[in-house]
Chain A
Amino acid sequence: KAGVTQTPRYLIKTRGQQVTLSCSPISGHRSVSWYQQTPGQGLQFLFEYFSETQRNKGNFPGRFSGRQFSNSRSEMNVSTLELGDSALYLCASSFRDTIGSEQYFGPGTRLTVT
């Protein structure tokens, strides 16, 4: 099976712009989660989607939003970019078996805001 893919891998934007990141989960996985990784704050949970519904949301401002499509692919959007939004954005897809779940991460999108 192909792994989690994220596009684009690298992105440079200027303050005030908006950006959309895409994530394609592993085939058969219906849950997609997003994380922001920065040197200062580490890995922080953004949101989780399952069957096109947001099930959980982290403590981020409303500028951060996401959605999931019927094929489980997910996008996240950041509007009015700030310098502090520069980070590695990781997507993870997961499945649940009888004993729990496992998350598989994509390579990430490196966003630089100038």
Chain B
Amino acid sequence: AQTVTQSQPEMSVQEAETVTLSCTYDTSESDYYLFWYKQPPSRQMILVIRQEAYKQQNATENRFSVNFQKAAKSFSLKISDSQLGDAAMYFCALGQGGSEKLVFGKGTKLTVNP
């Protein structure tokens, strides 16, 4: 069975600072993908970043980057220069090749303080 664990229910960061959200996962598949999604309050889920398991290079999207440690099954999200608009629930998700099914973690609520 595939599982995703986000051990930090809540995090806070000062505006312009950097924050790292943790995620660990478990899967027996060799072909899988990892995602971070952002869900602002009462707004829809947005894809933040995607990482293919076969890629060694960590994905980066502007201020968002990941630290993908395949052997440790760890997939953390770093947000640099945090902005007020980054405040949201962040979900780590695991998908496997050939299927659109995603397994989500419980989420981390990120608060950005001005």
- Interfacial residues, chain A to chain B (CB-CB below 8 A): 31, 33, 35, 42-45, 48, 50, 55-56, 58, 90, 92, 94, 99-108
| B100 touching A103, Cβ below 8 Å | yes
Q: Write out the residue numbers on chain B whose beta carbons fall within 8 Å of the beta carbon of A104.
A: 47
How many A-B contacts at CB < 8 Å in the complex? Answer: 57
B3 to chain A, nearest CB (A): 12
Q: Write out the residue numbers on chain B whose beta carbons fall within 8 Å of the beta carbon of A108.
A: 44
Q: Write out the residue numbers on chain B whose beta carbons fall within 8 Å of the beta carbon of A44.
A: 104
With A45-B103, A92-B45, A102-B50 given, can you name 13 additional A-B contacts, CB distance below 8 Å?
Answer: A33-B101, A35-B102, A42-B105, A43-B102, A45-B101, A58-B101, A90-B45, A92-B100, A94-B100, A100-B97, A105-B37, A106-B44, A107-B44
CB contact between B100 and one of A43, A90, A101, A107 (< 8 Å): that residue: A101
21 contacts across the A-B interface (CB closer than 8 A): A33-B102, A42-B104, A43-B91, A43-B102, A45-B101, A45-B102, A56-B99, A90-B45, A92-B45, A94-B100, A99-B52, A100-B33, A101-B95, A101-B100, A104-B47, A105-B44, A105-B45, A105-B46, A106-B44, A107-B44, A108-B44
Q: Write out the residue numbers on chain A whose beta carbons fall within 8 Å of the beta carbon of B104.
A: 35, 42-44
Q: How large is the interface on B (under 10, 10 to 19, 20 to 34, 35 or more residues)?
A: 20 to 34
Q: How far is the CA of A58 from the CA of B2 in the complex (A)?
A: 13
| B52 touching A56, Cβ below 8 Å | no
- Contact residues of A: prevailing secondary structure: strand
Q: How far is the CA of A107 from the CA of B37 in the complex (A)?
A: 14
Q: Write out the residue numbers on chain A whose beta carbons fall within 8 Å of the beta carbon of B44.
A: 105-108
| B99 touching A48, Cβ below 8 Å | yes
Q: How far is the CA of A31 from the CA of B98 in the complex (A)?
A: 12
